[in-house]
Amino acid sequence: MLEKKIPVWLDTDPGVDDAMAMALLFAIDAYDVKGVSAVAGNVELPKTFQNARDLVAFFGRKDVPVYPGAARPLFREPRTCYFIHGQNGLGDVPLPASDAPVEKKPAWDALYEAAKAAEGELTLIAVGPLTNVALALGKYGTLGKLLKRIVIMGGSATYGNATPAAEANIFCDPEAASTVFQSGVPIVMCGLDMTLKTVMSPAELDEMGRLNPTAKFLRDAAQHGLSYSQAHGIDGMALHDPTAVLYPLYPELFSGEEAGVAVETKGTITYGKTVTDLFSDKQFPFKNALVMLDVNKAKLFETVRELLARY
């Protein structure tokens, strides 16, 4: 009997690891991708929107609509990561421009419509700042009940990568993240505690790149950020965003714990920190997220290679 497909939506700020996440998303037959939305993050919105469009076309899925989202965070000043993702957001590796129709509908409206149509079954995968998600939840009071769950790449139960306290996606829009964590929607948090255990070395990236032209693009796009990562003690590329895309279908690759999570929005030193009660005897009066803490790296890489080999 045909397995029912999993309806998913991807919100993203491509972004080099976002690009690999998208390649995996479209290689997974079990996913019914209802839409992709772009948000300002790694680079500005015009570039993340164009990148998302071009990547969807590059992966052979121009049938999937791509929507423009927020051009800036809810309150704080915008923050980009050119030092990792390059000027064009894809490691300065060019992609052919998509000739798919340019969607004008804002991401938050399109996401709500897809969630309503999916009748509570939509899994939202968010791998950039959570601005679009917060705006959608704020505009549509029933959205929280229409989303089955939100799988995010973001946060950390321990250290940060944008500051010593905060992970980049959360740090880019802490107020939006706080809204999402308080929304009541079940959250799976693929944070740094797990994703920094997924570093693919330069040699492993090269091996991946030999699979086919699609994998070679992903390997080439990763080169720009490698030098920055190596200068900061990480000899390779962490598969941050790919983990969030894989989690819904391959949860057995990961392990974590239910926790209460709240986002610091008033701190100066701790602004954007996801405060969890995982390692505290003082617990929050709620459990709102499944926080990923570990991953089977060998099986993760095997799954990534198997999926990319489908292109």
Interface of this chain with ligand RIB, residues 42 to 71, rule: CB under 6 A: 42
Which window, 49-57, 89-97, 162-170, 265-273, contacts ligand RIB (CB under 6 A)?
162-170
Q: Which is nearer to ligand RIB, 19 or 275 (CB)?
A: 19
Question: Which option in Ca ion, ligand RIB, none does residue 68 bind, with CB closer than 5 to 8 A by kind?
Answer: none
Which window, 63-71, 203-211, 239-247, 250-258, contacts Ca ion (CB under 5 A)?
239-247
Sheet of strand 31-38: strand arrangement: 66-68, 31-38, 6-12, 122-126, 147-153, 187-190, 289-295, 254-259
Contact between 126 and 11 under an 8 Å Cβ cutoff? The reply is yes
Q: Which is nearer to ligand RIB, 159 or 311 (CB)?
A: 159
Selecting among 85, 224, 232, 240, the annotated active-site residue is: 240
Q: What span, in angstroms and rounded, lies between the C-alpha atoms of 13 and 126?
A: 9
Phi first, then psi: give them for residue 258, nearest 5 degrees: -65, 140
Catalytic residue list contains 232: no
Burial 68-98 (b: 16+ CB within 10 A, else e): bbbebbbebeebbbbebbbebbbbebebeeb
Strands (E), the chain: 6-12, 31-38, 66-68, 122-126, 147-153, 187-190, 199-200, 237-238, 254-259, 261-263, 274-276, 289-295
β-pairing, 199-200 with 122-126?
unpaired
Q: What span, in angstroms and rounded, lies between the C-alpha atoms of 224 and 217?
A: 12
Interface of this chain with ligand RIB, residues 241 to 300, rule: CB under 6 A: 241
Q: How far apart are CB 267 and Ca ion at their closest, in Å?
A: 23
Q: Which is nearer to Ca ion, 156 or 277 (CB)?
A: 156
Contact between 51 and 89 under an 8 Å Cβ cutoff? The reply is yes
Interface of this chain with ligand RIB, residues 112 to 131, rule: CB under 6 A: 127-128
Q: Which is nearer to ligand RIB, 103 or 241 (CB)?
A: 241
Which window, 27-35, 68-76, 97-105, 160-168, contacts ligand RIB (CB under 6 A)?
160-168
Binding test (CB under 5 A) with Ca ion, winner from 15, 106, 160, 174: 15
Here's the x/- map for Ca ion, 127-146, by CB under 5 A: it reads as xx------------------
Contact between 75 and 175 under an 8 Å Cβ cutoff? The reply is yes
Binding test (CB under 6 A) with ligand RIB, winner from 153, 253, 275, 292: 153
What would the DSSP string read from start to end of 257-273?
A: EEE-EEE--S-STTTT-
Here's the x/- map for ligand RIB, 7-36, by CB under 6 A: it reads as ------x-x-xx------------------
Binding test (CB under 5 A) with Ca ion, winner from 8, 9, 16, 18: 18
Contact between 79 and 167 under an 8 Å Cβ cutoff? The reply is no
- Single-letter amino acid code for the residue at 161: N
Binding test (CB under 6 A) with ligand RIB, winner from 143, 168, 222, 308: 168
Q: How far apart are CB 7 and ligand RIB at their closest, in Å?
A: 22
Q: Which residues are at the interface with ligand RIB (CB under 6 A)?
A: 13, 15, 17-18, 41-42, 127-128, 153, 161, 167-169, 240-241
